[in-house]
Structure 1
Amino acid sequence: MNIYSDLPDSHTLGLEMYQLISDLYPICRSITGDGVRKTLHVLQQFIPLEIHEVPTGTQVFDWTIPKEWNVRDAYVKNNQGIKVIDFQKSNLHLLNYSIPLHETMPLSKLKEHLFTIPEYPDWIPYRTSYYEENWAFA
């Protein structure tokens, strides 16, 4: 008797896992907000999860639950109006927990709010600002 006969073959399982990751990757999620909810609801299709919500400001051991963070869009346009940094292309382009900002500024001021890895110019560094109001792009 083969107890594994009801399991999908590794190729099928691999394709299903790849599809799940493909579905989850574009969701903008952090430690709070709609992206976390959406991710958990997707995962509920595969594993039993009981979801509990904890209000902002609640103390949990040595941690305080931060404000929710939900993003609709974020970008930087050059002086020709072309988006050169675009949240819609990668949600990593925005500092996690950035505050809203709508401003025109010189490149010198913008550079103070840009994160890069100079030796890897095509990489997008992941940065957060949970407890300090700030804004930045990567």
Structure 2
Amino acid sequence: MTDLGINVNQNNRDSGYSMHDLISRLYPICRSITGNGVRKTLSIIKEIIPLNAVEVPSGTKVLNWEVPDEWNITDAWIKDPDGKKILDFKQLNLHVLNYSTPIDKEVDLNELKSHIYTLPEHENWVPYRTSYYSRKWGFCMSHKQFLGL
């Protein structure tokens, strides 16, 4: 089979489509090192390869590490004064500080900015930040979006 002048084996093409389908299923899942996102991810992977998943309780010491509390999130957002969402977890799960504690309150812009993480050297990138062992809330956004607040 020929595609743009390059010989492509049908099995390779099918494998490519299969990988794309797999990534399309896995990418949207909000996962960290514990929680329902990990379980869902492993369940999907088990459809492809044999896998024996073992759950280890939070607080368990593993060498020099401690398994953190389980973290599950369903929604998060920041709304402007007019009630319009300017940041939405359902649009991009990186928008929330991984392991963020819940918050449901109005805050002024200065307080909000103190809880936002960006990458100033990459103004269009949204960072992946975590807070496994430090109880705090926060959001992540592009530095360009941060400057527009």
2:104 alignment partner, SS class: coil
1:8 positional shift? 5.9
Q: Give the residue type in structure 2 aligned to 1:102.
A: D
Give the TM-score, by structure 2 length. Answer: 0.85
1:121 positional shift? 3.0
1:116 positional shift? 1.3
- Counterpart of 1:65 (choices 57, 64, 67) is 67
Q: Does 1:51 align with 2:53?
A: yes
1:117 positional shift? 1.9
How far apart are the structure 2 equivalents of 1:37 and 1:76? 28
How far apart are the structure 2 equivalents of 1:87 and 1:121? 19
Deviations 1:4-29 (A, max 9, x none): xxx96111111110110110000010
Partner of 1:93: 95
Gaps of 5+ in 1: 1-6
How far apart are the structure 2 equivalents of 1:89 and 1:118? 22
- Give the alignment of 1:1-138 within 5 angstroms: 9-138=11-140
Give the TM-score, by structure 1 length. Answer: 0.92
1:85 alignment partner, SS class: strand
Partner of 2:4: none
Q: Using the TM superposition, name which of 14-23 and 119-128 deviates more.
A: 119-128
Q: Give the residue type in structure 1 aligned to 2:37.
A: G
How far apart are the structure 1 equivalents of 2:88 and 2:104? 14
Q: Which has the higher strand share?
A: 2
Q: Give the residue type in structure 1 aligned to 2:58.
A: T
Partner of 2:5: none
Q: Give the residue type in structure 2 aligned to 1:16.
A: S
Which structure has the higher relative contact order (CA within 8 Å, separation 6+)?
A: 1
Which aligned segments of 4 or more residues in structure 1 are displaced greater than 6 angstroms? none
How far apart are the structure 2 equivalents of 1:43 and 1:92? 22
Gaps of 5+ in 2: 1-8, 141-149
CA RMSD of aligned residues (A): 1.3
Partner of 2:147: none
Partner of 2:143: none
2:86 alignment partner, SS class: strand
1:88 positional shift? 0.2
